[in-house]
Amino acid sequence: MTPEANHWAEKWKQIIGLPDFLPESVVAVLVLSLVYTLVVVPSGAAVNYLARKVGADLQARVGPNRVGPLGLLQPFADLVKLLQKQVDSKLGMNEKIWLGLHTMALYSTVAVLPLGSLLLLINTEMSAFLPFWASLVIAMGTMLLGLSQKSIPGWFGGIRAASQALAGALPAIAALIAVGVRAGSFFWSDIADSQGAGILAWGVFDSPFEPISFFCFLASGLVVMGIAPFDGGLSVQDIHGGVSSHLHGTQLALFRLGRHYGFFLWATITAVLFLGGWEVPDGVQAWLTENTSGFAIQMVESVLLLMKTFGLMIFVSILARVTPRIRSDQITDLSWKVLSPLSLAALAGTAIWAFWTAKNGGSP
């Protein structure tokens, strides 16, 4: 374990009030479960509700308004409904394995999810690249799940998801490397610290090339994860929802939550890479340090980051509501022919910018 890892384990032991003799692995499991149950799952419900309400407003409708005050309990009602449904017993062994495997692999990335300076469970030079592994796992799992379904919707859905993930990976990696060049490191903490709390100090405004990187990273994330309007693999119109057409009840709930988590993961990373991460304004930080425990700062950081993440997710879902679903061959075209060259050009530009900035002692 790295020194940073020890650092977080000690802090967490203090916060939860665990005895000192507990090994790190146990603390890690506890914290991972906490993050999953307190952040990932509720964020699914929150974003689902907000996106539906905002979308309904956009479409001159009311949206959820029956379950609980203002329809706030609608996501839970949906979940309970899904869990009650009879599971299709025809789901074969292969499908069970692929669904289970890709879900497990996906959630293992909670460990590298950057949610604040304290919530960095694993903070290494490779941390920033691990979510890519998750995104390719979700695509690979979806493809194998679809191919093992023995039906045209499953095959088409699976192959479309896989081809999109392959096409979107290159621009995403190029944009990430551009961020590494800017920050001088791939540690989550360094990337976040290279930016400021004010909007103009965000990474996206650091150089003329950063907005391009930001756009490429966000768009290629939607392509890789297959999020609307780039969700040809889950199109209801022609292939009844692709891979998800053969999933029911708990399986469908698992699959949907996994897809939501993919979206959440990508939005969080985008916020950390480009939108100032969890940086709190200096004055606020000083006041908090003076008047509260260190834990309060961590909470404020996480809430700030989650707000940025939710904002990004809702922005994308509003765009998806007014934009027609783009054909998957057009999506891969866009990825290879537009996003890839753009992100590579932005990477080259960022490198030159960083070189000049270093040479002139901090100013371009």
Partner 1 sequence: MSTHGESLATDLAYWGIGPYHQALPGPFRLNLNLDGEVIAETKTEIGFIHRSLEKTFELHPWSSALMYADRLDPEAASFGEMAVALAIEEVAEIAVPVRAQSIRVLVNELNRVSCHLGFLARMAQAVGAETLFHYALRDRERILDQFELLTGARFSLNFFRLGGVTADVTDGFLERVLDICEVLKIRLKEYNDLFSFNYAFLKRSRGIGVISREQILAHGLTGPNARASGFSTDTRKSEPYSGYQLLDFPVLVENDGNGDVHSRFLIRLREISQSTDILKQVIESIPGGSFLSQPVSKPVKPQPGEAYIKVESPRGTLGCHLVSEGGDRPSRVQFRVPSMAAIAILPEILRGSRMEDLPVILASLDLGIAEVDR
Using DSSP, state whether 125 is helix, strand or coil. Answer: coil
Residue 70 found at the interface with partner 1 (CB under 8 A): no
- Mapped onto helix, strand or coil, the DSSP state of residue 62 is coil
Smallest gap from residue 55 Cβ to partner 1 (A): 8
Q: Does position 352 bind partner 1 by CB under 8 A? A: no
Nearer to partner 1, 60 or 200 (CB): 60
Per CB under 8 A, the list member of 198, 323, 356, 364 interacting with partner 1 is 323
Q: Give 73's contacts (C-beta < 8 A, 6+ positions apart).
A: 67
State in angstroms the smallest separation of the CB of 278 from partner 1: 34
**What interhelical angle do 210-225 and 152-183 show, nearest 10?**
160
Under the criterion CB under 8 A, does residue 197 sit at the interface with partner 1? no
Number of alpha helices (DSSP H) and beta strands (DSSP E) in the chain: 15, 0
Identify the CA nearest to 145 among candidates 253, 227, 257, 245: 245
Any contact of residue 250 with partner 1 (CB under 8 A)? no
Omega within 30 of 0 (cis) for the link into 75: no
Q: Tell me the closest approach of the beta carbon of residue 257 to partner 1, in angstroms.
A: 22
| For partner 1, the closer CB: 221 or 232 | 232
Q: Site mask, partner 1, residues 214-233, x = CB under 8 A?
A: --------------xx--x-
Name which of 40 and 252 has its Cβ closer to partner 1: 252
Site residues for partner 1, window 37-56 (CB under 8 A)?
55
Who contacts 131 (Cβ-Cβ below 8 Å, separation ≥6)?
109, 112, 113, 265, 266, 269
- Interface with partner 1 (CB under 8 A), residue from 238, 281, 296, 341: 238
> And the tokens for 33?
């479960």
Q: Which of 16, 126, 236, 286 binds partner 1 (CB under 8 A)?
A: 236
Structural element, H or E, at residue 192: helix 188-193
Contact 306, 39 (CB under 8 A): yes
DSSP H or E run through 216: helix 210-225
**By CB under 8 A, residue 303 contacts partner 1:** no
Q: Does 62 bind partner 1 (CB under 8 A)?
A: no
Q: How far is it, in rounded angstroms, from Cα 159 to Cα 242?
A: 10
DSSP per-residue letters across 75-109: HHHHHHHHHHSPP-TT--HHHHHHHHHHHHHHHGG
To the nearest whole angstrom, how small is the minimum distance from the Cβ of residue 210 to partner 1? 25
Q: Is 328 in the site for partner 1 (CB under 8 A)?
A: yes
Contact residue for partner 1 among 16, 61, 68, 295 (CB under 8 A): 61
Which amino acid, one-letter code, is at 118?
A: L
* Binding residue for partner 1, selected from 239, 243, 288, 306, defined by CB under 8 A: 239
DSSP 293: -
> Which of 1, 58, 199, 296 lies at the binding interface for partner 1 (CB under 8 A)?
58
- Shortest Å distance, C-beta 223 to partner 1: 14
Residues 148-167, interacting with partner 1 (CB under 8 A): 152, 156
Query: In angstroms, rounded to a whole number, what is the distance separating the alpha carbons of residues 64 and 87?
Result: 26
342 touching partner 1, by CB under 8 A: no
Instruction: Point out which residues bind partner 1 (CB under 8 A).
Output: 55, 58-61, 152, 156, 228-229, 232, 235-240, 321-330
